[in-house]
Structures are given as C-alpha cells and as structure tokens.
Amino acid sequence: MNSVFEYIIAGALVTVVLFLTYGFANRMSRGRVVRDFRRPDEILTAVDIYVKYDRKRAARELLETGLERYPNDESLRARAAELDADAS
C-alpha cells in the first residue's frame, strides 16, 4: 500500500517540477528573443519559427516589440497583417 502511495506522490512531484522548469525556461527564452533579435530580418525569422510551432501569440508579441522599435518597417507591418488575417 505504501509503495502505491509513494509512486503517486513521486509522480505528482515530477509533474510539478516539469511544469515549473518549462515555465521558467519559456520565460527566459522569450526574454532572450526579445532582447537579442533586434533587426527586422531577425525578428521576422523568429516570428516564422514561432508560427511554425503554432505559437502565434508569442509571434504577435514579438512583432509588436519589433514595430515599437521600427514603426515604419513595411515587412514587419505586412507580417503583422498576415497574422491578424490568419487569426480571423
């Protein structure tokens, strides 16, 4: 009886650790992408990768950051319009 209970507790602990690790790594990678990708072509490449992995919200956030830095860049505006059209 104790061994079953121990397995359940161990499984729950492993699940919690995995979720916390994933959340922490995701937060760090998002910050790094926003910080390290500065040029419009780098931003567009990262956006394409996010879209490929079905992370459209993260792609949109990155595009918004890029548009704040480069408000007149037509390639960023066009990609943002494409994402908006896909969301509709």
Residue 80 · residue 61 · CB < 8 Å: no
Tell me: the pLDDT tens digits for 6-21? 889 999 999 999 999 9
Q: What residues contact 47, with CB distance under 8 A and at least 6 apart?
A: 59, 62, 63, 79, 83
* Per-residue model confidence (pLDDT) at position 30: 67
Parent domain of 24:
2-87
Question: Structural domain tally of the chain?
Answer: 1
* Per-residue model confidence (pLDDT) at position 48: 93
- Is residue 68 scored above 70 in pLDDT? yes
* Per-residue model confidence (pLDDT) at position 72: 92
The predicted model scores a pTM of: 0.62
